[in-house]
Amino acid sequence: MNDPKLNKFLRQWRDVEPRGNFDDNVLRRIRQAEAIPVRNSWFDWLRQPALATIAAVVIGLMAGTIGGLQSAPRQTSELEFMAPTTLTGAYLTMRTK
C-alpha cells in the first residue's frame, strides 16, 4: 500500500536524541562484562568446592546403586515352582495325563 499522505503524516513523529553519555555507558558496560570471568565448560563449574562435593556424592551414589544391582542374585522365574521336577509340576503333569 503506497499511501503518500499517510507516509507524510507518519514522519511527523519526531526523533529523540541519544543521551549525552551514550558511548561512555556502552564502553563501561563492555568493561564490566569483561571483568566477570566467563565459565566455558562444565569442568569450570566443578572447580567450586561445594559443586565438586555434590557431584562426587551423586557419582558415588550412582556407582553404588549400579554395583549393588549387578552383584545381587538374579531373580528366578515366577513360574519356576511349576517345573516338572517340583511338587506342583508333578501334580500338574499328573492332572493332564
Partner 1 sequence: MPAVDDQLLEQLRTGDEAALVELMRQYRHPIVNFCYRMLGNAGDANDVAQETFVRCYQTRQRLRPGAKLSTWLFTIARNLCLDRLRYRNRHPTETLESAPEPVTISNEVGNREVGAAIAAAVAELPEDQRTVVVLAEYHGLSYSEIAEVMNCSIKSVETRLYRAKQTLRDRLWSWMD
- Residues binding partner 1 (CB under 8 A): 1, 3, 5-7, 9-19, 22-23, 25-27, 29-30, 33
Report how far residue 2's alpha carbon sits from residue 85's, in angstroms, rounded to the nearest whole number: 94
The minimum distance between CB 45 and partner 1, in angstroms, equals 21
Enumerate helices (H) and strands (E) in the chain, giving the number of each: 5, 0
The minimum distance between CB 3 and partner 1, in angstroms, equals 6
Neighbouring C-beta atoms of residue 10, cutoff 10 Å: 9
Q: Are 29 and 22 in contact (CB under 8 A)?
A: no
Cβ proximity to partner 1: between 7 and 53 the closer is 7
The minimum distance between CB 33 and partner 1, in angstroms, equals 7
